[in-house]
Structure 1
């Protein structure tokens, strides 16, 4: 699926970074920040919508001022009194992708975006930035957060969506917490949802490195009810009342299933510890999408459900790029060919040393001929990131390229492993 999870890995590049003690700056609570990203292809803006407080913090309590991935956007939290950076995170968004559409050239729109930050003990300054594919700042916005602000909305206290743990290896401090959310399931269909969630969990942990690092995860299935069964398919004039308002035909692409109602996702999860989100749609129509540090959304009853949910989680969790491409070179403007992409599993070779160059055998031809894939399991194969020319992928095939291939390639596996180790050392 086309997505805008974007990554350049910054692991182990923080020798000079100052390590913060979580308890010095933060409470064991979550600050949920809702923004509206607005604009068009020419100009973008960021506006603060609402602040909320959640009962506990499920995110990392180390590497606080470091980024594992650059992303298409970043948030920096500073202690107001000292101006010391006390937390960073990165992300991508549906808004970023929309900016590349023809519609964005003709009109302006607003998109919801929600981010989870540790709740500060003292007043803090939050700065959020959006970046272009050329890594230029498109929009930047600063605002203050005062922890005693009476208008910070307390959520997840009086009402918590019914949920069930499918995997629990420890508390939220020691594990990566993934919430699997129901979309298009009525109250009467929740047994079906829990079974679908079990299938998603089983598929995810059948892939390395998730399989060997399973003990670092908690998985909770959240039974958010919908009024209608199924999800909206606009091209068939089918509009459903569902928990998170998802629909196919995003940006007029038949199989692109997303939701722009991000607040409804997080409202359904309030009071449940979570960091990463998988949304299961109750339909057999093929489709899905994955956005880095936002969500994975995929259909639960198509025959390709199991490989697709893992592929999309590769986007949303690990910031992996699509490794497939189009022979007619559609979508070739997604990645500028004179800029190294942020994702770890594709390269324009502008800065190949930052990618998988260290994994190549000495005799590897660059580019690597497609007919040599058996001799070179890791190579530099042309075609990836939707473009047949100028962008390279590390393997002939991979879970990030086709649904039929059974595993992530070695480069993708390393990228996922590094993300897991960043969150849970």
Structure 2
């Protein structure tokens, strides 16, 4: 009964003036599962399934606007008029994999799930994937009819148990779901404590601290058979709710899962837009993918700064600001193209980044010896490269775990995104 009353409360707080939304959509969710597959030479997209949830937790305004470009986009168009009704952007683990050496030798397939408001009329949904040069590498358009009998109902009953950690007090708060990965039924109390700690870690950082009332946080008690998560380089395998493991792309610290559908199945019927998975392990690592999920170790000593860093990726689309002294890795970000991430620049289109925030007379680029004079500058090194890519501050939460805060440019980018979703 408490679940039902809370869900009704969410529905009652939806904007009353969202006439455009209500003209084209119902206040429930259409979930579309896709398979992204291929190799470095050829990529394709396939529809894997359609389902519906009883509520909609996403945006009801600015439906045809993307605040960030991302590495892909989903677009919903009216079939009759062609009008763009809804869109949002994302990145994917598949696109990261395309830049690995393995992608030159073998084909792989990756699950991807996207949520859009449930249409009242027939629509055309289009998925676009872009490469590191922002060129489209794959596209799929398909028709969806709201009366399709094969749209499966999910989340109408048997909802995964959850606790409300934080309830925002604005009309359309941002819904963040925290899931348990590698916690058995007997460890749920520990998970809920870890989820509270993760949320508080995020709220300890600006601009989340000043915008706390704009967020709902929910802890979802997804149960695993085994304790812990898989660590392949230690030959340690665990049967967990979402099959998370370290050694993604053979990088020991990269903790991810490709079982995306199981994540969304666990969340069916629960309002959510952004996802954090907490791994029941003290092994160091994590990962964050824009508009997909954050996944991080819950019991390593650096858990608190890491979960905030990874949420900067998955929620804010922020880039890594660290770099490797021995390897410029300039193939990650082409130096003749401006990255879409708001906190790094190649200076190709610096006007679109934090240039307007700079103190008058700030040298471009800014020397590392001038950090006291220019806390916000244009410091070389970022996006994994020592040369040709620049970051806003000498240090930042997106660069090191030991630095306490997001830099001013990252804070401004996060604030802009929070306001986009809630104003």
TM-score, length-scaled by structure 2: 0.95
Distance 1:129 1:37 in 2: 11
Residue aligning to 1:289: 287
Residue aligning to 1:372: 370
Residue aligning to 1:167: 166
Residue aligning to 2:10: none
Where 1:318 maps in the other structure, the secondary structure is coil
Gaps of 5+ in 2: 1-17
Runs of 4+ in 1 over 3 A off after TM superposition: none
Residue aligning to 1:155: 154
Residue aligning to 1:423: 421
Where 1:117 maps in the other structure, the secondary structure is strand
2:383 to 361, 382, 385: 385
Where 2:210 maps in the other structure, the secondary structure is coil
Residue aligning to 1:28: 27
Q: Give the 5 Å matches for 1:177-192.
A: 177-192=175-190
Where 2:61 maps in the other structure, the secondary structure is coil
TM-score, length-scaled by structure 1: 0.94
Residue aligning to 2:58: 59
Residue aligning to 2:273: 275
Residue aligning to 2:3: none
8 Å CA contact 1:20–1:62 kept in 2: the answer is: no
Residue aligning to 2:68: 69
Distance 1:183 1:374 in 2: 42
Residue aligning to 2:217: 219
Distance 2:328 2:279 in 1: 28
Where 2:62 maps in the other structure, the secondary structure is coil
**How far has the Cα of 1:159 moved from its partner?**
1.1
Count of aligned residue pairs for this structure pair: 406
Deviation string, structure 1 residues 178-225 (Cα, Å, up to 9, x no partner): 000000000000000000001001100000000000000000000000
Residue aligning to 1:8: none
Higher relative contact order, chain-length normalized (CA < 8 Å, sep 6+): 1
Deviation string, structure 1 residues 241-281 (Cα, Å, up to 9, x no partner): 10111000000000000001100100010010000000000
Residue aligning to 2:339: 341
The CA RMSD measured in Å over matched residues stands at 1.0
Distance 1:183 1:140 in 2: 33
8 Å CA contact 1:28–1:56 kept in 2: the answer is: yes
Distance 2:52 2:328 in 1: 43
Deviation string, structure 1 residues 354-404 (Cα, Å, up to 9, x no partner): 111101112111110001101101100000000000000000000000000
Distance 2:222 2:328 in 1: 37
**How far has the Cα of 1:233 moved from its partner?**
0.4
Distance 2:282 2:119 in 1: 44
Residue aligning to 2:113: 114
Distance 1:169 1:314 in 2: 20
Residue aligning to 1:197: 195
Distance 1:330 1:232 in 2: 31
Distance 1:330 1:262 in 2: 32
8 Å CA contact 1:20–1:86 kept in 2: the answer is: no
Distance 1:329 1:237 in 2: 29
Distance 1:395 1:412 in 2: 10
8 Å CA contact 1:73–1:131 kept in 2: the answer is: yes
Distance 1:370 1:144 in 2: 53
Gaps of 5+ in 1: 1-18
